[in-house]
Structures are given as structure tokens and as C-alpha cells.
Structure 1
């Protein structure tokens, strides 16, 4: 069939005339659409190149996607530090990627292993455990596992919010300046982060309480009675450890998944929350928790200093 229409115009000529008309009438829109298209194409090519590098990490090598390192702690995020600590305890080989810290779920950290992506620190640990046959709690009894699980939820889902209220509501995000390198032109964004987290605390509910009330909630997390399975005996959180060193870890003489959460969170208090009420609690009231962090850090992070961002504000 001929490409020439009855009027003598070809489809190419028609398309050309249409583009010419659009250019004359909608020039700004066309320019914007073209620029957006170029940006999207570049992003796609960069993401494809990053994916190629991740796949070249090697079989069963975990690529840990995370934000930049902290100035005073390997990560100013308890969930990131929790996951990296788990990888070290379980002796799972991993590499760090800072180029794409946010995954498809909009969460950080996330991992890529053997071409598969997994998000959320807890789900990642539950995924890697069976895959690499690394059950850090296998030596615990059913009762001990129940207690450890309860304590882990308290740390990950409750004490976290108390610390967020102090960092981003009470202090308006200022502690972030002391533990993360932020270029001067971008420091105004701290206020935006603080407002975002403040809204999150209001939605969660804890942000509706006074700072004093939240602080007391945090104190109770550090010394919280938990009912063990099968009996009504209570286990104060800080008393799981002893200053004599008889229990170097939360559940005895071996590190478990609970220790990953506890260290990830306490490290934020120790090295990322200067002058906070929670740091004062560790230094005075719950000294055994304070003393727990130092040997833990030395054992599993012998390269602690190398894991810090060497830039300075």
C-alpha cells in the first residue's frame, strides 16, 4: 500500500508538520518533556551500570546498600548498623554500596545478593539466616527465644521512637550535624528531615507526649520487666548483662540476633546522641549497658576507625 495519502502527504510529513506546530505553540512544554526524558534515560543507564557492578560482586556476596558512613559511628542509622553487625557476626561476605541507598520500597538498608533484592533489616536477617544456615539463636531454648524476641521488638519498635523524639523533635535534628558529614549548602535540609520525623512521631502517637514523658518511656525500655514464657519471673533489660563479664552478650556467652538490634541502638546513644538524657542514663544508672558496647565494638568492629567518614564539618 502506498504511503502517500490522497492529499499527497506522507505520514512522515504529517508528523513533521505536527511537531512544527507543537514547537511553535508548546515550545516550553516540549523542552521540559525532552529534558525529563534525557534525565530518565541517564538514570536508567546509571542504574543498569550499578546493577552490573552488584552482580559482579560474586556468588553469595551480599551487597549492602546504605547511606554514607558516620563521623563518630559506622552508621547513624540503628537499622543499618544492626544489619551490618549481623553480617559480621554470621561471617557472611558483603560489600558496601553508597550509590543507591534507597531501595524499591523506599527503605534503607536493603541488599542485593545473587541478583535478588531484599529490603528491611529484620526481613533481610530472616532471609539470610536460612540461606546461609546462620541461626544465631539456635542454642537458645524456646523460652529464651520468646524473651529475646520480645526484647528485640522493644528495642526496634519502641525505644527507637523515643530516640527519634529526642533527635528530631526535641533537638530539631542538630545531633545529625555532629555525626554525619553534610556539606554546608545542604544543611538547610536538616530542618526538613526534622519536620518529616516529627510528623511520623505524631502519626505513631509518641510525639503527642511531653519530652519528659517520652524520656521516662525510654528509661523503662532500658530497664523493662518482661514476662518469660511459662512463668511470671521478670527479666530487667539491663540486668541481662553483668559488669563482671559473666554474660558478655544479651542472652549469654554467644551473640544472637538480639545483640545486633541492641548494639545497633545503643551505639546511636553512645556515639550519635551527645548530651542526651539516654547517654546520661547509660553512663550512670545502667553502666553495664554502657560497658557492654565497648568490648562488643572491639570484637566485631576491629576496623571501627576505618569504617568512619574521615571528612569533617
Structure 2
């Protein structure tokens, strides 16, 4: 028994530096997280009655890698609500996701709740000219792209084409990408997709679902300028947020090819939204502007 105890102590002594390092690292992570939370809570004083839009840093070919951040910022531009960007990412995010906003003393997470809040606060209704039937159709389209198309795209982008995504859209050279990190991240995204349900399908099946959604959008849009006529409505913010990522932030794949070749009206629609509401598009990307650009 004595010899066994001695052996255990000797082994622990051998690994003491590593154990100590792990403890120090763990404490460091906790301290850093707390510091980031403290800094997030002291982001500064923003002008009264100014919407503060929290999102990730600007991206390479579109203003953000988040479908929903593009959605909300497009809504703010259409409605001309005064706002300022805060590229704080997940720091301080109430639900652990972006986008979220601060308005005076109020904090609102989730893109749909943000728009509902701002509609009420500023007495805005982009859907005022829609019939009850059109409003129902708009909601159905929005739920399709945000609960179905979105997951197809997320998996195609971050699970099946994650290396191309990081190399081409995050400007990360291939030699810098650690294979283990890629494997872990792909596994993480696949697990999320599995829980949601889309991830239980094969790559070809996910592509097939995405193409079906794109065709439905293309058929519904037809020759119209926007999805319900000559003026953009709330659903255009949501759909553009999704399509902007397919058009500008998706590695080459069958779904992207289908978007350009078979749904050319969706491609033109994206360009139309960009021209009308994002005249400073290039300045809002890391190619034409700065990562920390603020409107």
C-alpha cells in the first residue's frame, strides 16, 4: 500500500507543472472573461434616442457574416432610424447571439423581437399596405428562410466547406488553419445541425432542400422589384439577410451555382437591395472599409 501511494505521489509530482499550468490557464480564462464582461458593461455613453446595433466585425464581401445582423441593419436603413454600430460580437449579448440592440435604457435581443420593438417605439409598419393574406404569406416566407434555408446554408458553409470558408472569406491562409481546429468546429456545427434536424441529412439531401427553398423564393418573386411589389417590406429584410450570405459569403458549391444559374432574379434582387439601401456597401466590408467601421 505504501509503495502504491508513493508511486501515485511520484506520478503527480511529474505532472505537477502541467496541472499547475492548466489551473493558471483556467484562472486566466475566468479573469479575462470577467474583464470582457466588465468592459462590455462600460461600452460608453451613446446618444439619447440612438439605436446601438451590436454585431460581429465587418466581413469580407458583405457587411457581416451574420444573416440576421444584415437583416436588422437593412431594416434600420429602410426605416431611416438613427443608429450606430457596436462591433462587440457576443460580449454582453443577452441570449448569447447576435444581433442585439440597446436603445436608451432598454436591451433587446433577437432580430425579430428587435424589429417588433422598433416598430412599436417609432410607430413604423413596413407592412401597412399588405393584405392579411399577404402578411400571412410574408410570415411563411420568413420562417422558411430563417428556420430552414438558414440551417442548410450554415451547414454547407461551416460544416462541409469550412476550410474554403475560412481561407476565402476570413482571409485565413490554409497553412494557418489547424486541422484539429477545423475538425472540432465542423463537428460542433454538425452537432448543432443534428439537434435542429437538417444535419441528419446527407450533403446531397441538404443541397436538395436548399435548392427547393431557392426555387420557391424565385417563383414567388417573379418579375417584382421586391417580394410584395415596388416597396420593400419587413420580409425583404429577412430574405435579403439570408440571400446576401448565399451570394457573397458561400464557397463554391452546387447550391450557390443553382442560385446564380437557375434563380437569376434572386441574384438581381440582391443587387437591387444593395444599390437602394446599401450605397456604401463596399465601405462596410473589410475590402473597402475597415473592420471597425461605424455608420
Q: How far is 1:191 from its partner?
A: 4.1
The partner residue of 1:112 within 102, 110, 113 is 102
Q: How far is 1:257 from its partner?
A: 1.0
The residue number in structure 2 matching 1:287 is 264
1:193 is the counterpart of 2:185? yes
**Structure 1 37/253 Cα, relative in aligned 2: closer, same or farther at 3 Å?**
closer
Q: Could you tell me whether the CA contact under 8 Å between 2:69 and 2:99 is conserved in 1? A: yes
The residue number in structure 1 matching 2:87 is 98
The partner residue of 2:51 within 51, 55, 62 is 62
Instruction: Give the Cα–Cα distance (whole angstroms) in 1 for the partners of residues 213 and 122 of structure 2.
Output: 32
The residue number in structure 2 matching 1:301 is 278
Structure with greater helix share of residues = 2
Instruction: Give the Cα–Cα distance (whole angstroms) in 1 for the partners of residues 28 and 205 of structure 2.
Output: 51
Instruction: Give the Cα–Cα distance (whole angstroms) in 2 for the partners of residues 164 and 37 of structure 1.
Output: 30
Number of aligned residues: 265
Residues 249-268 of structure 1 correspond to what in structure 2 (within 5 A)? Answer: 249-268=226-245
The residue number in structure 2 matching 1:78 is 67
Instruction: Give the Cα–Cα distance (whole angstroms) in 2 for the partners of residues 183 and 125 of structure 1.
Output: 38
Q: Could you tell me whether the CA contact under 8 Å between 2:160 and 2:186 is conserved in 1? A: no
Q: How far is 1:250 from its partner?
A: 0.6
TM-score (norm 2): 0.81
The partner residue of 1:132 within 118, 122, 125 is 122
The residue number in structure 2 matching 1:160 is 150
1:205 is the counterpart of 2:197? yes
**Structure 1 187/155 Cα, relative in aligned 2: closer, same or farther at 3 Å?**
same
**Structure 1 185/286 Cα, relative in aligned 2: closer, same or farther at 3 Å?**
closer
Larger mean Cα displacement after TM superposition, 39-48 or 249-258: 39-48
Q: Could you tell me whether the CA contact under 8 Å between 1:79 and 1:109 is conserved in 2? A: yes
TM-score (norm 1): 0.77
**Structure 1 57/183 Cα, relative in aligned 2: closer, same or farther at 3 Å?**
farther
Q: Which has the higher contact order (CA 8 A, sep 6+)?
A: 2
Q: How far is 1:295 from its partner?
A: 1.6
1:46 is the counterpart of 2:39? yes
Deviations 1:62-98 (A, max 9, x none): 1111111111111111111111111111111111111
Q: How far is 1:125 from its partner?
A: 1.0
Instruction: Give the Cα–Cα distance (whole angstroms) in 1 for the partners of residues 220 and 247 of structure 2.
Output: 19
**Structure 1 176/142 Cα, relative in aligned 2: closer, same or farther at 3 Å?**
farther
Larger mean Cα displacement after TM superposition, 75-84 or 147-156: 75-84
Larger C-alpha radius of gyration, 1 or 2? 1
Q: Secondary structure at the match of 2:151?
A: helix
